[in-house]
A and B are shown apart, each in its own frame.
Chain A
């Protein structure tokens, strides 16, 4: 019943922009798209959430095309401390939903 598909892992270098794309072909009308970050031995932490077009906050941007079947998390100018697992989730916030967490994308930033 996986609702999202992400790359298993990605590598990049300090100072680069990193884009992680998530596919959610079966996204429903009421579903929002949320991204979390998880460091080893810690609980996930909310990064950003959106419904359509573009959302930006102090740490990331989220790009959502018109058909909403995918989304891209963009991390500008990454540093070593951005090495973590990134999860993309979709869910209907108005109903008694259960979020399904996939394996996420393991991002490794190199010096």
Chain B
């Protein structure tokens, strides 16, 4: 079973607040990802990282930012939350060092964000 953690699980916050969603993995995986998913809809990649000091934007434009200072930690920050940011945010990691054919993504439980 994969060890990837997200906190908080649920967050209700007012407009304009700065928030950071935490994601940590203990598997030593190089690649990490942030997805945004609305209820009943598909996952959209918003950020990813290939390793320390590497961050890239995904296919869905997002006002959030990420950092990757340590291998195990990939936090996502919203400087000023808005109601349009209300969604579920899923963090994932995968091992690029193993055989390339087994680049399985392991997901955390998600953070459900509600911005009032």
Contact = CB atoms under 8 A, between A and B. Distances in A.
Given A46-B106, A104-B42, A98 B48 contact: yes
Contact of B101 (A1, A32, A100, A102): A32
Given A43-B90, A44-B107, A45-B107, A99 B42 contact: no
Given A42-B109, A43-B108, A101 B50 contact: no
A98 B59 contact: yes
A34 B104 contact: yes
Interface string A44-55: 111001010000
Contact of B109 (A43, A46, A87, A96): A43
Nearest to B110: A43
Interface residues of A, number: 24
A103 B100 contact: no
B101 A51 contact: yes
A93 interface: yes
A41 interface: yes
A100 B44 CA distance: 8
Given A51-B101, A99-B45, A101-B42, A42 B58 contact: no
Given A34-B104, A87-B43, A101-B42, 5 more contacts: A41-B88, A42-B107, A42-B110, A49-B104, A98-B48
